[in-house]
Amino acid sequence: MTAERTLRHKVAIVGIGETAYFKRGQSPDPEYVLALKAILAACDDAGLDPRDIDGFSSYADDRNDAARLATSLGIKELRFSAMQWGGGGGGCAGSIANAAAAIATGQAECVIVFRALSQGQVRYGQGAAAIGYAAQAAPVIAGDMAFSVPYGAISPAQRFALKAMRFMHDHGVSQDALRAIALASYRHAQNNPRAIMYGKPLDSDGYDASRWIAEPFHLFDSCLENDGAAAVLLVDAARARDFQQPAAYLLAAAAGSGRRQAASSHSAPCYATGNFNEVARRLYAMARIEPREVDVVQAYENFTGGVAMALNEHGFFARGDANDFLTIDNLSAPNGRLPLNTSGGHLAECYMHGMNLVIEAVRQVRGQSCNQIKDANVALMISGPMVTPVSSLLLGSEATR
Amino acid sequence: MKTSYLPVGLPAPLADRQGPTAPFWKGLQDGALRIQFCRACNAVQWGPDYICNACHSLDLDWKPVEPEGRIYSWTRVWQAAQPVLEGSVPYVVVLVELVSAQGVRLVGNLLGEPLQPVEIGMPVVGVFESHEEAGTSYTLLQWRKMDGDWRC
């Protein structure tokens, strides 16, 4: 009989680390130093000598090269280094899947998965270079962006607004549903001293009065832009209890996309989607759980509309039920039906391309969140709605073993 | 006199003179909307590619279609992403699906008042917008609402 091919309960996150989070441009440290600090913090949390790290995994074309990190940290032997394809945060959970696969197959023992981002030094998704043309007197543009930039659909907010508007039309989603997602993040951030928006609450009137960026997105539907770094340490589940913190076990991880999702000119066959229909099916199958068994969700907010898509595609509400499900009460810790983004997420804690959401998912299954859910045994983390490829991750507490 | 919906100075779609999208941009300059199809299996393909995504033939060609479509999605942009657009917000971006080629979608601007009502499903017709800037020329495809009550 062939052994089941799965990551379920094979690998655990035993260390989490992050820098202080800064508004864009306000980090006193270069991006590389931020990466080092987060990695050292994750090792310190676990009680591991950083020289015993033997692998690095990242995503979104992170600029902090694995071999350079291994040199700086005096690592004895680098065994694994991997970059998950795809820009933005779609690869966050996928980079954890890559690290976990390396550990489960004996390629490495102690792998750091990290993201470091100093938007003051290189601003993400903005400017001429980011959208693919050189700043010059008569700029030209190529490829997919040539289909939208000459028409003023330039920034991520402007391009994803088209997808969100169609999704809201197809599914009958109201602006109130998007607002509930934003309010939940801000509510949770008020209990999180690490959050950029700690001490800056947002209410319905504040959301409604905020300026439009690109309809249907108000200012508060958009992620922050930050400097910082975050890292997690993965080891073989058999060793998880040797470390000083409670382990968060991988129940499943999945990455990928639907058919022709990268078709240019906004012409993917299944357009108005977060792109999780296939990924979510494989995720739950590997974990052998149902959506109703998920206790808490950290869902990547580039924009609130993408969160609505992601939650729908991960099976939390049926088509047409978004407005009933997406309410501030349902999404709030500790007693809501599905507490969402309990650290404040990308809207109110920090935009660390999903890695701060992974850390919050770990905190929940450890019982260490600022907005702790009672008996949180299963935490879902969703990476990068509306891009391709995307990825998702399910973590379980000791009680799930 | 204003000759284009958005101000001059945005990047021109001229970088793909050799790539798979080149015949599309050349077609607009000729006053025609051309889309890619596969000579082997006859499938319409969008966006353009070097290979037929259905049958893997490399024998792709282009055919003209009517510049008529329906609004598949839209946004009204209120915050400029480039300095050249700062005096031009709000403006309306539409995603149009062609009537004669389902699944073929094009981003453009909806001509007319920026605060005009916009709805998914509205029929629109293409308007070729010529640009002569800084020694280069290219054409964009813009859209205007068809006359009459579209729900009838």
3-state secondary structure A132-167: CCCCCCCCECCHHHHHCHHHCCCCHHHHHHHHHHHH
On whether both B107 and B131 belong to a single domain, the answer is yes
On whether both B54 and B77 belong to a single domain, the answer is no
- Please tell me if residue A130 touches chain B, with a CB cutoff of 8 Å: no
On whether both B57 and B74 belong to a single domain, the answer is no
The confidence band for A67, taking pLDDT boundaries of 50, 70 and 90, is: very high
Nearest residue, CB atoms, A158 vs list B16, B47, B77: B77
Q: Across the interface, do A140 and B13 touch by the CB < 8 Å criterion?
A: yes
Whether pTM > 0.90 for this model: the answer is yes
Of A354, A338, A358, the closest CA to residue A346 belongs to: A354
On whether both B26 and B45 belong to a single domain, the answer is yes
Q: Across the interface, do B47 and A152 touch by the CB < 8 Å criterion?
A: no
Among B34, B49, B65, give the residue marking a domain's end.
Answer: B65
Among B46, B65, B84, give the residue marking a domain's end.
Answer: B65
Chain B residues in contact with A211 by the CB 8 A cut-off are 78-79
On whether both B47 and B90 belong to a single domain, the answer is no
Of A373, A336, A354, the closest CA to residue A84 belongs to: A354
On whether both B75 and B147 belong to a single domain, the answer is yes
Mean residue pLDDT across chain A: 95
Of A71-75, A143-147, A341-345, the poorest mean pLDDT is in A143-147
Range of the domain at A396: 11-122+222-400
Average pLDDT over residues B116-145: 94
Q: Is residue B123 part of a domain?
A: yes
Q: Is residue A189 part of a domain?
A: no
We report the CATH number of the domain holding residue A246 as 3.40.47.10
> What's the pLDDT score for residue A88?
81
The confidence band for A191, taking pLDDT boundaries of 50, 70 and 90, is: very high
> What is the number of structural domains in chain B?
2
Q: Is residue B121 part of a domain?
A: yes
On whether both B60 and B111 belong to a single domain, the answer is no
> What's the pLDDT score for residue A277?
97
* Radius of gyration, CA atoms only, chain B: 16
* A223, A306 contact by CB (below 8 A): no
CA–CA dist A259, A242 (Å, integer): 43
On whether both B122 and B150 belong to a single domain, the answer is yes
Average pLDDT over residues A9-38: 96
* A387, A87 contact by CB (below 8 A): yes
> What's the pLDDT score for residue A3?
81
Q: Is residue B5 part of a domain?
A: no
What is the per-residue pLDDT across B1-27, written as a single tens digit (0 to 9) for each? 678 999 998 999 976 667 899 999 999
| Secondary structure of residue A396 in the 3-state scheme | strand
E-strand ranges in A301-387 read: 378-383
Average pLDDT over residues A33-55: 98
On whether both B78 and B125 belong to a single domain, the answer is yes
Average pLDDT over residues A174-178: 98
> What's the pLDDT score for residue A111?
98
Q: Is residue A347 part of a domain?
A: yes
Q: Is residue A388 part of a domain?
A: yes
> What's the pLDDT score for residue B133?
77
Q: Is residue A171 part of a domain?
A: no
Query: If interface means Cβ-Cβ distance under 8 Å, which residues of chain B face chain A?
Result: 6, 10-16, 19, 21, 25, 46-48, 53, 72-79, 81-82, 85, 88, 90-91, 93, 95, 103-109, 120, 133-136, 140
Q: Is residue B27 part of a domain?
A: yes
Q: Is residue A386 part of a domain?
A: yes
Of B23, B21, B31, B94, the closest CA to residue B66 belongs to: B31
We report the CATH number of the domain holding residue B76 as 2.40.50
What is the per-residue pLDDT across B105-118, written as a single tens digit (0 to 9) for each? 999 999 999 999 99
On whether both B61 and B95 belong to a single domain, the answer is no
Q: Is residue B146 part of a domain?
A: yes
Of A214, A210, A179, A185, the closest CA to residue A197 belongs to: A185
> What is the number of structural domains in chain A?
1
Q: Is residue B28 part of a domain?
A: yes
Q: Is-catalytic flag, A351?
A: yes
Range of the domain at B38: 15-65
